[in-house]
């Protein structure tokens, strides 16, 4: 996760020199964000960790869709929050027994911005003692085991990632909605002053990770920890944090290991106190709750395949773009696009004039694997898009 070099990535395939400069500066800034403990706030559109992905969830025969965040433990298994695969059913399952029988009704895919789209064939493996976060009783402090593993089938060669505590700042990488407390922040980014649809890769740093009921409040769980939201987003400084929004469930918390790798400390579960009207509504003192993986070592052991290895992230650059066209000249490699807009305004259409591209329009996802150098225009028809380019990737 922590890059050791900030050499300029090769983006010579982009026609516009200003776009080349923007993407290179964005890459350098993301490296600095992860390695500099003095930087805080939220970093939008990072390419530091290839194991993080967005779980796309639907049920067979139903129009309802949703998404969550998560992390590939290795090439075979993806870890996210258990309620991500249970809460889509109605009535909402309260625990393992009421959810497990429905799991074969799911239609799942996982979108990795730096690797592509994985269609899931096997059913999820839910923790046998799963309990829905909606069933938490105040001051009970019981574990809820809000974890599920999704078989990947070895479709991408992800490195095995370490699990457990590391050193330094806690960092989450998620794909949830974006909400701006201070409207000037949205204006500075040319975003509408509103909640934005989920799907953009974003990193945020936690002030600390607390594990006691006194800090985490009456909804603290026995296998969890929490961070406390302080009401400032998308700015530099020592104390800024983020709040959990729709689509952030399952997002991994990382710490750095002694060899500079990323270790997964926990998985995002829920927030308290809840707000039934707006999942993104930030309140100073609100708590984000996480499931700590060190307390689930025995359960996770069956999904640990191969020795942990240092991630070799493909040479990728990523950025946020308004509606318009980006022209790639002589491009060979991977392209991934997530289109987004203000909440409840529909996904903007993306057109990529190339036969090697696929899309899931309802989720705003497009992906291409271009085997030989050619001209590729990428057009976003309204709203915004996050575009990730991995030139020369195989």
Kindly list the structural domains of the chain, giving each domain's residue range(s) and its CATH number in brackets, ordered by start. 52-151 (2.40.10), 167-301 (2.40.10)
Question: Would you state the pLDDT for residue 151?
Answer: 97
Name the nearest CA neighbour of 308 among 257, 266, 265, 253.
Answer: 257
Question: Would you state the pLDDT for residue 2?
Answer: 46
Question: Would you state the pLDDT for residue 185?
Answer: 64
For 362, the 3-state DSSP assignment is helix
- DSSP-H helix ranges across the chain: 17-35, 83-86, 96-100, 183-188, 213-216, 297-301
Q: Give per-10-residue mean pLDDT for the chain (394 aa).
A: 60 90 91 83 82 95 92 96 96 96 96 94 97 95 97 92 90 87 68 84 88 94 88 45 80 89 94 63 74 97 70 76 94 95 90 93 95 95 95 66
Alpha-carbon distance of 96 to 146, in angstroms, equals 10
Number of H helices, E strands in the chain: 6, 18
Burial grade of 351 (CB within 10 A; 0-12, 13-18, 19 or more)? middle
- DSSP-H helix ranges across 2-93: 17-35, 83-86
Question: Would you state the pLDDT for residue 4?
Answer: 44
Strand pairing class (252-256; 167-174): antiparallel
């Amino acid at each position: 996760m922590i890059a050791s070099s900030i050499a300029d990535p090769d983006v010579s395939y982009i026609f516009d020199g200003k776009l080349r400069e923007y993407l290179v500066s964005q890459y350098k800034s993301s490296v600095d964000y992860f390695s500099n403990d003095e930087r805080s706030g939220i970093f939008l559109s990072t390419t530091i960790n290839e194991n993080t992905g967005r779980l796309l969830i639907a049920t067979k025969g139903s129009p309802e869709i949703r998404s969550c965040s998560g992390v590939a433990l290795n090439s075979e298994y993806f870890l996210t929050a258990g309620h991500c695969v249970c809460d889509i059913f109605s009535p909402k399952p309260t625990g393992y027994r009421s959810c497990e029988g429905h799991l074969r009704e799911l239609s799942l895919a996982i979108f990795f911005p730096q690797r592509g789209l994985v269609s899931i064939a096997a059913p999820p493996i839910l923790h046998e003692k799963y309990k829905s976060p909606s069933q938490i009783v105040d001051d009970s402090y019981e574990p809820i085991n809000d974890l599920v593993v999704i078989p990947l089938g070895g479709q991408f060669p992800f490195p095995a990632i370490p699990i457990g505590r590391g050193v330094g700042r806690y960092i989450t990488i998620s794909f949830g909605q974006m909400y701006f407390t201070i409207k000037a922040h949205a204006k500075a980014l040319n975003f509408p002053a509103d909640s934005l649809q989920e799907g953009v890769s974003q990193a945020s740093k936690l002030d600390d990770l607390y594990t006691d009921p006194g800090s985490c409040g009456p909804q603290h769980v026995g296998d969890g920890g929490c961070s406390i939201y302080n009401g400032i987003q998308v700015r530099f400084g020592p104390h800024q944090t983020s709040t959990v929004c729709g689509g952030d469930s399952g997002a991994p918390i990382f710490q750095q290991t002694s060899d500079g790798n990323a270790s997964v400390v926990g998985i995002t579960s829920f927030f308290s106190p809840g707000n039934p009207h707006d999942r993104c509504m930030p309140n100073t003192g609100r708590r984000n709750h996480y499931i700590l993986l060190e307390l689930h070592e025995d359960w996770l052991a069956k999904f640990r395949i191969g020795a942990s290895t240092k991630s070799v992230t493909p040479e990728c650059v990523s950025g946020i773009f308004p509606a318009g066209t980006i022209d790639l000249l002589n491009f060979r490699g991977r392209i991934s696009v997530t289109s987004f807009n203000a909440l409840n305004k529909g996904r903007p259409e993306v057109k990529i004039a190339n036969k090697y591209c696929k899309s899931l329009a309802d989720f705003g996802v497009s992906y291409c694997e271009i085997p030989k150098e050619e001209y590729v225009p990428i057009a976003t028809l309204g709203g915004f898009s996050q575009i990730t380019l991995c030139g020369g990737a195989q």
